[in-house]
Amino acid sequence: MIEALLEGLSGVLNPVVFLYMVGSTIIGLIFGLIPGLSGMTYLALLIPFTFGMNPLLAMTVLLAGHAVVHTAGGITAILINVPGTAANAPTLIDGFPLARQGHAGRAIGVAVTASGVGGVIGGIILVLCIPFLRAIVMAFGSPELFFLCVLGITFIATVAGKSLLKGLISGIIGIILSLIGFDAVTATARLTFGSLYLNSGIGIIPIVLGLFALPQVIELMSTGKSIAEDKPMATIASDIWEGVKDVFRHWSLTLRASLIGALIGAVPGVGAETAIWIAYAHAKQTSKTPELFGHGAVEGIIGPESANNSKEGGALIPTLSFGIPGSSGMAVMLGAFLVVGLDPGPLFLRDHLDICYAMVFTLVLANIIGALFCLFSARYLAKITIIPSRYLAPLILVLIVIGAYLYRENWLDIIATFVIGIIGLGMVIFAYPRPPLILGFVLGKLVERYFHLSVKTSGNLFFLRPLSLILIFLTIIGLFYDKISKGNKYAN
Amino acid sequence: MQIDKKNILVASGIALFFLIVIITVLPYPAAAKRLPLLLGIIGLILAVLIIIQSYRLTPKETQLEGKNPYPNLYKALIWMFIILPVLFLLGFHLGLGFYTFLYCRLHRGRWWESLLAGLSVILFVHIIFVVLLKTWIPRGLLFDLLIERM
């Protein structure tokens, strides 16, 4: 194990890999700064650049940028009252008032440092979990893994949108789309309708680009504004370092919020949005001055910012060990890993332990680099938000088109991306959540493989195994959790 | 109580999709059809449930469901699809640069800024994809015809 750890470290510290890590961290920060361009858009657009790279380098490029998206997202929340990503939403409650009081620099210092420290703690939690994960994973057979996939899709379907039915439909459509093409067991061409293109199935890249990146371009094209066009921007004074000290003054809160983020991040489907609000509530509950919350409380920034970065480490736990993504971002990441030749799942911890540790180090180093970069260049980074959409929109479209084409050097992949983009657009307009679809697509083949194996090894009653029954029970709770919690809310 | 027609229409389309999946997979061998058939049936039931639910929405819920975040959707869609024939005719290098120039110029960009944006895209595509990643990028129908004539 120590050997794998050292191998992972030396892999990440290789000059070429390290240089790529720094580059992708900066790109990730830019994606975080621009509201609407999420971590998923980052992954969707960056995957094509990793074609031909070795798995370690590709993983570093994807993970480093994705890990720091939320770090920069807090800057726009503080300066222009628009969160860079959804996970930075609580930051504006106290960050923007603090900026209006003339302490924008301090607020940014707090947000960026808390994010960096949170990310490092998330990585440490992941490294501490790896030895136990190997033992736990071995207890899972095909039936349990099948139900774990179902559990993951159900959880994301439950929390991703307002309607459970729509979430479940999205998940099911995702699985069905993944089944298009030749069946591995009988070699039957399924749902291809005679199309040669569909024989090899729809690729993950057209799905990811179409679902997440294209609707974003359409939004930029249809609104036609820069992010900060009509919003006053607070000036960044020189008290950034005061904010850095604030985080270490409240070290206990930083640690607790990071733990909350990592633990919640590890539950499949319960993503950043849940973790950050719980961390914010926890910060308020445990504060000596709760009355300051909403008026520029430093703890109100530390809580959510620590949690939103530490949850990446937590979300990697189920992703690496079971191949079940801990969040919708991780679902895209899982698809990206498959494209670059990594296959997270039960055997991954045994066969690629060095890459697991390399991921931990990438997570830790990217967060440190990202935080330092933001601290020194926040005032310049903020200017990105005034880039007019007339430059941003075609540039992103160019990346989408090239990415879709380079995936298999096939024009039809571009057409598929546009068709799926229209579906993604429809899903946004009619409030059908997209994360369950991508998760269903990524897990679809696994669901089928575990389903066949379960029937073969344990017969039709494979769901009667004790661990399977527990997972079925958890799935049912997941399905009705929303109703139960709403019921409790009304009762209270 | 209010009927949400748009929601019903979309859910009906989804129900039709699942119905097509069910009908298409029926003749497949048992092992190949088991999962898609099961999912098709569950999906169909869920889509029907959404249709039933749409008849029982309150006016407030209907308003929320129908919220459109894209103010100039058709214009944006036209711009998005224009890139396809441009790429097919001019290829990736020139096509992407020309498209970027055209988009910027026709969206109140200054001449030199739009030109710079277009040229930057050509340079970006060439350096990253051709020089560094060593991938082959299509030249476009017009370029191929021009070479054939010469």
Where do we find the tokens 């680009």? A209
The pLDDT score that the predictor gives to residue A235 is 60
pLDDT values of chain A reduced to their tens digit, one per residue, 492 residues: 778 888 888 888 889 999 999 999 999 988 887 766 677 778 888 887 887 788 888 889 999 998 888 888 888 778 776 677 777 778 878 888 888 787 888 888 899 999 999 989 988 888 888 777 767 766 777 888 888 888 877 777 776 667 888 989 999 999 999 999 988 778 888 988 888 888 888 888 888 888 888 888 888 888 776 555 555 555 655 678 888 888 999 999 999 999 988 887 777 655 566 678 788 888 888 888 888 888 888 898 999 899 888 888 888 888 888 787 777 778 788 888 887 778 787 778 778 888 888 888 998 999 999 999 988 887 777 666 667 778 888 888 888 888 888 878 888 999 999 999 999 999 988 888 887 888 788 788 888 888 888 888 877 777 788 888 888 888 888 777 656 555 554 444
- Any alpha helices (H) in A2-88, and if so which ranges? 2-13, 15-33, 39-46, 55-80
Distance CA A159, CA A202 (A): 26
pLDDT of residue A417: 92
A/B interface, count of CB pairs below 8 Å: 158
Whole-angstrom Cα distance, residue A126 to residue A362?
A: 12
CB A65 within 8 A of CB A40: no
Distance from CA of B149 to the nearest CA of A (A): 25
Residues 6+ apart with CB under 8 A from A259: A121, A125, A310
Residue A51 lies in a domain: yes
- Do residues A448 and A179 lie in contact, with contact meaning Cβ atoms separated by under 8 Å? yes
Is there a contact between A11 and A17 (Cβ–Cβ < 8 Å)?
yes
Dist. CA A481–CA A436, nearest whole Å: 17
Say which amino acid occupies A447: V
Interchain pair A186, B32: CB under 8 A: yes
On average, the pLDDT of chain B sits at 84
The two three-digit tokens of residue A89, written as one number: 């939403």
**CA distances to A251, A281, A400, A491, B63 from A486, in Å:** 34, 18, 40, 9, 21
Taking the C-alpha atoms of residue A445 and residue A383, their distance in angstroms, rounded to an integer, is 44
Q: What CA–CA distance (Å, rounded) separates A62 from B148?
A: 42
Domain boundaries, position A87 = 2-486
What is the C-alpha to C-alpha distance for residues A325 and A1, in angstroms, rounded to an integer?
A: 24
Q: Which of A221, A428, A431 sits opposite B76 (nearest CB)?
A: A221
d(C-alpha A67, C-alpha A59), whole Å:
12
**Count of other CB atoms within 10 angstroms of residue A477:** 14
Q: What is the DSSP string of A387-420?
A: S-HHHHHHHHHHHHHHHHHHHHT-HHHHHHHHHH
Strand-pair category, A189-190 with A181-182: antiparallel
Residues forming a β-bridge with B57: B2
| Amino acid occupying residue B31 | A
Helix (H) or strand (E) holding A464: none
Phi-psi region of A141 (alpha: psi -120 to 50; beta: other; left: phi over 0): beta
The token duo for B14 is 């989804």
Structural domains counted in chain A: 1
Between B49, B53, B107, which is nearest A224 by CB?
B107
Which of A188, A223, A388 comes nearest B29 by C-beta? A188
Question: What's the farthest any 2 CA atoms get from each other in chain B?
Answer: 70
> From CA A165, how far away is CA A171, in angstroms rounded?
10
Q: From CA A306, how far away is CA A329, in angstroms rounded?
A: 18
- What are the tokens at A379? 């005032």
B139 burial via Cβ count (<10 Å: 0-12, 13-18, 19+): middle
Looking at the domain assignment, is residue A462 inside a domain? yes
In a domain, A491, yes or no: no
One-letter identity of residue A163: S
Alpha-carbon span A492 to A222, nearest angstrom: 43
Percent of the residues in chain B that have a pLDDT greater than 90, as a whole number? 37
Element (H, E) at A108: helix A104-138
CA-CA distance, B78 to B96, in Å (whole number)? 16
Whether A86 contacts A95, CB under 8 Å: no
B47, B70, B121 member nearest A218 (Cβ):
B70
Which tokens sit at A254?
């930083």
In B, residues 41-100, which contact A (CB 8 Å cutoff)?
A: 42-43, 46-47, 49-50, 53, 64-65, 67-73, 75-77, 79-81, 83-84, 87-88, 92, 96, 99-100
By C-alpha distance, the chain A residue nearest B79 is: A221
- The pLDDT value recorded for residue A489 is 47
Assess if residue A426 is contained within a domain: yes
What are the structural domain ranges in chain B? 5-65, 73-149
d(CA A8, CA A355): 6
pLDDT bin (cut points 50, 70, 90) of residue B54 is confident
Closest by CA position to A323, among listed A476, A125, A148: A148
Which chain A residues in 386-405 lie under 8 Å from chain B, judged by CB atoms?
388, 390-391, 393-395, 397-398, 401-402, 405
- Cβ of A426 under 8 Å from any chain B Cβ? yes
Q: Helix/strand/coil (H, E, C) string of B99-135?
A: HHHHHHHCCCCCHHHHHHHHHHHHHHHHHHHHHHCCC
Tokens representing A444 are: 């679809």
Instruction: Pinpoint the alpha helices (H) of A266-388.
Output: 272-285, 298-322, 328-339, 348-351, 353-381
Instruction: Please give the pLDDT value at position A227.
Output: 52
Q: Which two tokens stand for residue A18?
A: 């390290």
Tell me A211's DSSP state.
I
Give the whole-angstrom CA distance, residue A395 versus residue B23: 42
Q: In 3-state terms, what secondary structure has residue A181?
A: strand
**Are the beta carbons of A424 and A217 closer than 8 angstroms?**
no
- CA-derived radius of gyration, chain B: 24
Q: What are the tokens at A145?
A: 């893994």
Question: In this complex, which of A175, A185, A405 lies closest to B39 when CB atoms are compared?
Answer: A175
One-letter amino acid at B22 equals: I
Which residues from B are below 8 Å from A165, CB to CB? 46, 49-50, 53
Asked whether residue A459 is assigned to any structural domain, the reply reads yes
Length of chain B counted residue by residue: 150
Residue A85's H or E segment, with its range, is none
Amino acid at B97: G
CA dihedral B97, B100, B101, B105 (to 10 degrees): 180
pLDDT over 90 (residue B14): yes
* Contact (CB<8Å) A402/B17: no
Residue B26's pLDDT is: 92
What are B16-40's pLDDT values in tens digits? 999 999 999 999 988 888 889 999 9
A residues 128..167 contacting B (CB < 8 A):
162-163, 165-166
Asked whether the predicted pLDDT for residue B99 surpasses 90, the reply is: yes
Please give, rounded to a whole number of angstroms, the shortest distance from the CA of B142 to a CA of chain A.
Answer: 16
